[in-house]
Structure 1
């Protein structure tokens, strides 16, 4: 039996809905004055992908909700944020057009909450030329983690894949020697997202194989059979949820749950994922988490939910990408509030954002920063979860990714006093 899938499924990335999780009654934003800001607006932009294969805008919607909350509570020392969210429609040319609109026409001082497959590659040139900082919610392709003016609050698929494989290998000492990582052949994403896990297992004396496929015509059975031909101990399904489900169905048909350990990156950290793959996989799949559990009753988690409840739309996702957008907006707002409101402009904001060297939140496992390095991947530690009893059950340990590509990041962190 062969499983086919459409291109639209490539965008079935994480939707870790938290349902009826508790949230604080009164969200806290900015100075929490309860008085609306009425001064001269500060323009901040954001680029997401709304129209096209799928609506990929969760991060930007959360940033918009946070800025509404901020404006209702005094804004940035009296000045409201005018947040302009633009749709790039998954189109590099349109992404460049809206970037020019926000930066040159609207005079945005920063971009915040970005979430796009094409933004990073299409707009690196203008970000550097105009020296404007992007505090992105979600970076996906490699380009998002390898430029001076782009700092995502998420970890990214490469780090995420690596951590999940590490957890399984460390849970079964000496038994994990061969790893297969499966990913869609999207430029600067598919193979790159798997290379960290493969490099790590090779460093442990093992071996690895990367299998990429056309996301528009997935033959899940063929992919699974190709993976099994390598005789793996672990298969990492490094795909969005929509692509992963048929792969797990094909693996179930082959009876693989007791033969191979399965893992996935944070794109599978979706509270509906265990139901989607079925009871067969109970206790058999490890899924990475780029941030802490979406339904954790910690202060920042509750505040994020409260912000979304009061200032977001009911249709706005409450997922990990939403958490990332909330963090991006909050980091930016709290940085601006330390500045002289009368002197806020792009140059001063860029300098202030680059000066972030230790921002802490109970959503992250370690301090987040921007700094003046040539690239940014500050989020590289987090827990993993196990599919168990129809749920994703988090382990209470933060795992530090040992992806060799992070060596320069770790070296930079030592220069700013963040020890790992």
Structure 2
């Protein structure tokens, strides 16, 4: 009953904010797609589950122009061929008007040209590979690991006031060069001492890496890997460097990481890419209750999926003519800057890749097993 009440409440709020046509349309459903890494090491369905939750609420309120949203998610299994096949299937279906809410570790690089050729826009809830942030038809709502790494370096240097910064980065496919460039560019901009950068394979044993990094006498460590490996790094490195602060990216900002690292000591941070899901704001509290009712863990990933769905729905609700791929793409390209209560800056899809993307993160600190805001201001790159 609680779950039903929450869905009805959100649906009513959506209907009040955007009056929808209740009549059934003979045009069939509005099909929205997503290519997402749902299986494989470190995979997650949180982003697409949250997007589906939002689309379900819109459907409960009457849909868009009387048409329900059909959400079609395809698992790329973290494999380039699977990602290519998924995008080909979605782009080849004229009923698919856009993609939204996906969270893939590699599909942007594989599919960016395919989306551009098909005139199909993709709004990932969590863009990961570098191509996500430099493509004409892909516009992620999240900050992403590269900008987040730069904000983590700024936090370590200007807020924590450390000079000897060590960056530890797993060698993830297609991402190592982007992290190297991020560290180099940040050093040039900040005129700070150049951080060291240790790249390692996830299958490598951690003790030799810990010893190598410890020999650098780091004052602070920025770890760029996903949540699971980040937990592994902290637990392994704490035995040798118990007092050295570790700044992780948003993938470590989860309740599971908080639980796993509760006894790891002070000085653990994570860069939240959206308004903290643990905050007490009314918007966050209502969103979090709905996620819990659906048994979706509150996290930056689930925030990203929710926000990506919001961006697309907001665009669709502003359209007065026919809704099809070309009209939706035009509406996205000409959208006004859109502000979410969960983002620091307005978001905008632009023409020819001139997108206005999320470039901020808020430092969180783990205290007594709970994430708390560590700095009063967002850090932007």
TM score, norm. by length of structure 1: 0.81
**In structure 2, what is the equivalent of residue 214 of structure 1?**
201
Q: CA 1:201–1:391 in 2, change beyond 3 Å: closer, same or farther?
A: farther
Trace 1:276-315 onto structure 2 (pairs within 5 A).
276-282=260-266, 284-305=267-288, 307-308=290-291, 313-314=294-295
Q: 1:346 aligns with which of 300, 303, 325?
A: 325
**In structure 2, what is the equivalent of residue 362 of structure 1?**
341
Q: CA 1:42–1:34 in 2, change beyond 3 Å: closer, same or farther?
A: closer
Trace 1:177-216 onto structure 2 (pairs within 5 A).
177-193=163-179, 195-202=181-188, 203-215=190-202
Is residue 231–residue 252 contact of structure 2 (8 Å, CA) maintained in 1?
no
Give the distance between the partners of 1:45 and 1:37, measured in 2 at CA: 24
Q: Does 1:132 align with 2:124?
A: no
TM score, norm. by length of structure 2: 0.89
Unaligned residue ranges in structure 1 (runs of 5+): 1-22, 403-420
Q: Does 1:53 align with 2:41?
A: yes
Q: CA 1:191–1:344 in 2, change beyond 3 Å: closer, same or farther?
A: same
Q: Does 1:266 align with 2:274?
A: no
- SS in structure 1 of the partner of residue 350 of structure 2: coil
- SS in structure 2 of the partner of residue 150 of structure 1: coil
Give the distance between the partners of 2:251 and 2:265, measured in 1 at CA: 17
How many Å apart are 1:200 and its aligned residue? Answer: 2.3
**In structure 1, what is the equivalent of residue 353 of structure 2?**
374
Q: Does 1:242 align with 2:223?
A: no
- SS in structure 2 of the partner of residue 27 of structure 1: helix
How many Å apart are 1:106 and its aligned residue? Answer: 5.0
Q: 1:328 aligns with which of 308, 315, 319?
A: 308
How many Å apart are 1:195 and its aligned residue? Answer: 3.9
Give the distance between the partners of 2:135 and 2:20, measured in 1 at CA: 38
Is residue 36–residue 103 contact of structure 2 (8 Å, CA) maintained in 1?
yes
- SS in structure 2 of the partner of residue 235 of structure 1: strand
How many Å apart are 1:288 and its aligned residue? Answer: 0.6
Deviations 1:163-222 (A, max 9, x none): 12212222244xx2222211111132234235424532453231212111111x132121
Is residue 20–residue 63 contact of structure 2 (8 Å, CA) maintained in 1?
no
Deviations 1:336-389 (A, max 9, x none): 111125x11111111111223321122111211112252646111131111212
Is residue 145–residue 377 contact of structure 1 (8 Å, CA) maintained in 2?
no
Is residue 104–residue 128 contact of structure 2 (8 Å, CA) maintained in 1?
yes
Q: 1:153 aligns with which of 141, 144, 151?
A: 141
Give the distance between the partners of 2:292 and 2:160, measured in 1 at CA: 42
Pairwise CA RMSD: 2.4
Is residue 39–residue 78 contact of structure 2 (8 Å, CA) maintained in 1?
yes
How many Å apart are 1:249 and its aligned residue? Answer: 2.3
Q: CA 1:205–1:183 in 2, change beyond 3 Å: closer, same or farther?
A: closer
Q: CA 1:357–1:229 in 2, change beyond 3 Å: closer, same or farther?
A: farther
Is residue 156–residue 165 contact of structure 2 (8 Å, CA) maintained in 1?
no
**In structure 2, what is the equivalent of residue 413 of structure 1?**
none
Give the distance between the partners of 1:266 and 1:51, measured in 2 at CA: 20
Give the distance between the partners of 1:98 and 1:276, measured in 2 at CA: 35
Give the distance between the partners of 1:262 and 1:94, measured in 2 at CA: 35
Is residue 99–residue 124 contact of structure 2 (8 Å, CA) maintained in 1?
yes
**In structure 2, what is the equivalent of residue 6 of structure 1?**
none
- SS in structure 2 of the partner of residue 356 of structure 1: coil
**In structure 1, what is the equivalent of residue 214 of structure 2?**
228
**In structure 1, what is the equivalent of residue 109 of structure 2?**
121
Give the distance between the partners of 2:259 and 2:291, measured in 1 at CA: 25
Give the distance between the partners of 2:86 and 2:7, measured in 1 at CA: 36
How many Å apart are 1:124 and its aligned residue? Answer: 1.0
Greater relative CO, 1 or 2 (CA 8 Å, sep 6+): 1
Deviations 1:111-155 (A, max 9, x none): 111111121111112101011111110101111111010000100
Q: 2:67 aligns with which of 79, 85, 95?
A: 79
How many Å apart are 1:293 and its aligned residue? Answer: 0.9
Unaligned residue ranges in structure 2 (runs of 5+): 1-5
Q: 2:259 aligns with which of 275, 297, 312?
A: 275
How many Å apart are 1:244 and its aligned residue? Answer: 1.9
Q: Does 1:99 align with 2:82?
A: no
- SS in structure 1 of the partner of residue 120 of structure 2: coil
